[in-house]
Amino acid sequence: MPRMMTTKLAVAALVAALGLTAPLIAADEKEAPKGIAGPGAAPAKPAEAKPAGDAKPAGDAKPAEPKPAKPAEAKPAEAKPAEVKPTEAKPAADGGRVITSPGGVKITVTTEAKEAGAQAKDIVWVHYTGRLATGAQFDSSVGQAPFKLTLGEGQVIKGWDEGLVGMKIGEKRRLEIPAAMGYGERGAGEKIPPNSALVFDVEMIGIARPGEQK
C-alpha cells in the first residue's frame, strides 16, 4: 500500500479515537482559491477588451480650433480741461495813478511825492531810461549825472514838456509818448526809427523855481 494511503488511514483512526468528526482534507485536495489556478489547472483565458462603442481611433480625432481672444476695448481717458483762473489786476506801486496829457501822453505815476510839483519855467533834474515800444533801450542817464532842463521851453520833445508837469521830487513816472509827441517822421539817429512811439521811465531828482539857484 502506498505510503500516502497509510498516512490517511492513520489520521482517520486518530480522528475516530478522539471523537472528531470534521473531515480532513489533504493539502493537495483543497480547492484552489478562485482566481488562482491550482496545479495542473488549465490557464485562464484573458478577458477580451472590447473598445467602447463611442470611442473613435485617435487618428480620427480633430484638434479643437482655437478661437482668437477679443482684444479689450481701450476707452480713451477723458481729459479734463484745466481750470483757468482770471488774472488779478494789480495796481501799480503807490496807487499807480494814470494821467493823460493834452497831447496824448499817457503818464503812470509809479511813486508819489508830497512836495509841490514842477511847472513850466521850472528847472528840473531827472534820471531817465528811454525805450522803443518794442522794449529796445536807446538811452539812459542812470549811473551818470541827472539830466537838467527848463520845463516848457522846448528844450526836449513835447512828450517830456507835458509829461513832467506836476512831477514832484522823488516821484517816478512812466511816459508812453506817441510818435507825434516824440521825434515824429524824422526819427533820431539810428536807434530811433521814424514814427516811433517811445517809453520813458523818469525819476524827478530836483526842482528849482525861476530866480532860484540850484
What's this model's pTM, rounded to 2 decimal places? 0.53
Tens-place pLDDT, residues 171-212 = 999 999 999 999 999 999 999 999 999 999 999 999 998 876
Tell me if residue 160 falls in helix, strand or coil: helix
Tens-place pLDDT, residues 31-60 = 444 444 444 444 445 455 454 445 454 455
Give pLDDT, residue 210.
Answer: 80
Give pLDDT, residue 66.
Answer: 57
- Strand positions, DSSP E, the chain: 97-100, 106-111, 123-132, 137-140, 147-150, 172-177, 198-208
62 class by beta-carbon count within 10 Å (0-12 exposed, 13-18 middle, 19+ buried): exposed
Give pLDDT, residue 87.
Answer: 29
Positions annotated as catalytic residues are: 128, 138-139, 157, 183, 200
Angstrom distance (rounded) from CA 75 to CA 165 = 68
* List of domains in the chain: 93-208 (3.10.50.40)
Give pLDDT, residue 78.
Answer: 55
Q: Are 102 and 152 spatial neighbours (Cβ–Cβ below 8 Å)? A: no
